[in-house]
């Protein structure tokens, strides 16, 4: 939630108040968003704890939202309102989508933790049979956050791709040169996100159970499943219903920029402000995907392929060896190639963590030094000075006798002293 508030503040200040008058403002926001997206999903892929994996993926998705805001600021600054509306539309749409599919993933993760009392992936496994409703909810959220069609994450990232392509043709030379690079970084982010959540779902819900609690897990109560079902429906509505949802968010972006609404829908299709560039129809795409799944089964059924019966073996083939659950892929083994490939970036996190530890130690030492300095000041300077002042005050206080005639004598003596001093 704090990240969403920060993004709202960025949009309000950078776009609404300041007007994004400089094109390099948008380029900086776009660059920070791209770096945040890539690093966030890299660290998420290597994380064996499910909650921390989702936390790192939030860094990735906030980076994607920043990329959309950055493109919108570029469009405003370079005098291309269509690009500005398209970029902000992509950012705002992904902000809404992220709230839905990340909420779904956190709820399903919470259901798993409630049953297993751990979020360590290597102590899960086989939960799809034990917790089928939770497994289906987590799979839906994983597909959405991986930007796979026709769910909601795919639609917002598709608009972001189109805005980057449009920026590559309408910006200045620097923007034209860097926009393809940012599109490539977004593609890398999407590929790593798919890998990250294939690992998360495969290790947690597929394969053999790796602990006694995973083998004894049961489905969570109905109210918990109802909350996940509502968010599953949200992922489907924001994805399949994109032709209905996108125009409303497009009006929000247009109103924020103070420009006329840009058409982004025609029937069941949505397009990036210009149908000549690209079009997308999530309902038709959904029917196509369903057809790809059902037509092969239908052909098998027509040709009698199911008459031979089913052969189900509980244990997978282990190349002639006796199978053991220890042979299954672990979360650590799954991410090993990625750790080797991006070793410098992972070392960067370790170096920054060590730097933070050292800075904390220095801060503790500095606090101790300040305490000692305060003690020296109090006991060596302030204390004696205060005691001397009090002693002097008590001595001076003796001249106060409460006699008016004595006070007049003090005044007379003071005047004589001043007169002698002045004359001399």
Indicate whether 71 belongs to any domain: yes
Show the tokens assigned to 169.
């043709």
Indicate whether 331 belongs to any domain: no
- Same domain? 158 vs 302: yes
- Same domain? 55 vs 151: yes
Q: Which of the listed residues 284, 306, 328 is the one where a domain comes to its end?
A: 306
Which pLDDT belongs to residue 199?
Answer: 87
Indicate whether 337 belongs to any domain: no
Indicate whether 183 belongs to any domain: yes
pTM here is: 0.77
- Same domain? 265 vs 160: yes
Could you tell me which residue, 165 or 315, shows the higher pLDDT? 165
- Same domain? 72 vs 212: yes
- Tens digit of pLDDT for each residue in 86-131? 889 999 999 999 999 999 999 999 999 999 998 898 888 889 999 9
CA angle 154/174/190 to nearest 5° reads 20
- Same domain? 370 vs 302: no
Q: Which of the listed residues 267, 286, 306 is the one where a domain comes to its end?
A: 306
Distance in angstroms (rounded) separating the CA atoms of residues 88 and 68: 6
The DSSP symbol for 122 reads: G
Give the residues across from 141 on adjacent strands: none
Indicate whether 325 belongs to any domain: no
- Tens digit of pLDDT for each residue in 47-70? 889 999 999 999 999 999 999 999
- Same domain? 302 vs 415: no
Give the residues across from 120 on adjacent strands: 49
- Tens digit of pLDDT for each residue in 262-283? 888 877 888 787 645 678 888 8
Number of Cβ within a 10 Å radius of residue 412:
10
Which pLDDT belongs to residue 154?
Answer: 93
User: What's the domain count of the chain?
Assistant: 2
- Same domain? 301 vs 384: no
- Same domain? 231 vs 371: no
Q: How many helices (H) and strands (E) does the chain have?
A: 17, 2
Q: Which of 235-239, 347-351, 399-403 has the highest mean pLDDT?
A: 235-239
Distance in angstroms (rounded) separating the CA atoms of residues 66 and 380: 55
Indicate whether 352 belongs to any domain: no
Strands 269-270 vs 265-266: parallel, antiparallel or unpaired: antiparallel
Which pLDDT belongs to residue 15?
Answer: 74
Indicate whether 15 belongs to any domain: yes
Which pLDDT belongs to residue 61?
Answer: 93
Indicate whether 28 belongs to any domain: yes
- Same domain? 172 vs 247: yes
- Same domain? 391 vs 293: no
Distance in angstroms (rounded) separating the CA atoms of residues 318 and 264: 53
Could you tell me which residue, 366 or 208, shows the higher pLDDT? 208
Give the residues across from 266 on adjacent strands: 269
Distance in angstroms (rounded) separating the CA atoms of residues 62 and 60: 6
- Domain span at residue 212? 2-306
- Same domain? 102 vs 177: yes
- Tens digit of pLDDT for each residue in 201-223? 988 998 888 888 888 889 999 89
8 A C-beta contact, residue 61 and residue 145: yes
Show the tokens assigned to 31.
């660059």
- Same domain? 254 vs 370: no
Q: Which of the listed residues 257, 275, 306 is the one where a domain comes to its end?
A: 306
């Amino acid at each position: 939630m704090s990240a969403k508030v920060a993004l709202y503040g960025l949009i309000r200040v950078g776009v609404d108040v300041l007007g994004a008058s400089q094109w390099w403002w948008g380029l900086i926001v776009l660059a920070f968003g791209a770096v945040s997206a890539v690093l966030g999903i890299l660290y998420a892929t290597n994380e064996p704890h499910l909650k921390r994996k989702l936390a790192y993926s939030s860094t990735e998705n906030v980076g994607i939202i920043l990329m959309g805001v950055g493109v919108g600021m570029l469009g405003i600054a370079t005098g291309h309102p269509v690009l500005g509306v398209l970029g902000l539309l992509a950012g705002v749409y992904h902000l809404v989508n992220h709230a839905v599919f990340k909420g779904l993933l956190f709820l399903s993760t919470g259901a798993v933790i409630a049953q297993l009392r751990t979020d360590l992936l290597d102590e899960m496994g086989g939960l799809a049979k034990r917790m089928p409703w939770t497994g289906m909810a987590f799979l839906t959220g994983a597909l959405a956050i991986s930007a796979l069609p026709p769910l909601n994450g795919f639609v917002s990232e598709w608009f972001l791709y189109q805005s980057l392509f449009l920026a590559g043709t309408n910006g200045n030379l620097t923007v034209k040169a860097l926009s393809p690079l940012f599109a490539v970084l977004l593609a890398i982010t999407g590929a790593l996100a798919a890998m990250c959540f294939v690992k998360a779902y495969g290790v947690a819900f597929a394969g053999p159970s790796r602990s006694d609690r995973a083998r004894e897990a049961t489905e969570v109560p109905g109210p918990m499943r109802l909350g996940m079902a509502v968010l599953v429906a949200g992922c489907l509505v924001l994805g399949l219903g994109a032709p209905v949802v996108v125009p409303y968010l497009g009006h929000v972006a247009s109103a924020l920029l103070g420009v006329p609404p840009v058409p982004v829908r025609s029937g069941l299709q949505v397009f990036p402000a210009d149908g000549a560039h690209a079009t997308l129809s999530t309902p038709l795409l959904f029917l196509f995907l369903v057809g790809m799944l059902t037509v092969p089964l239908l052909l098998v059924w027509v040709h009698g392929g199911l008459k031979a019966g089913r052969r189900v073996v509980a244990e997978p083939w282990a190349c002639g060896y006796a199978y053991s659950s220890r042979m299954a892929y672990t979360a650590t083994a799954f991410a090993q190639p990625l750790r080797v490939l991006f070793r410098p970036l992972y070392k960067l996190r370790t170096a920054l963590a060590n730097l933070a530890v050292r800075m904390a130690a220095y801060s503790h030492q500095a606090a101790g030094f300040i305490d000692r300095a305060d003690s020296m000041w109090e006991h060596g300077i302030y204390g004696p000075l205060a005691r001397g002042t009090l002693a002097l005050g008590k001595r001076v206080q003796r001249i106060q006798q409460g006699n008016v005639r004595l006070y007049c004598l003090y005044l007379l003596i003071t005047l004589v002293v001043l007169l002698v001093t002045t004359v001399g």
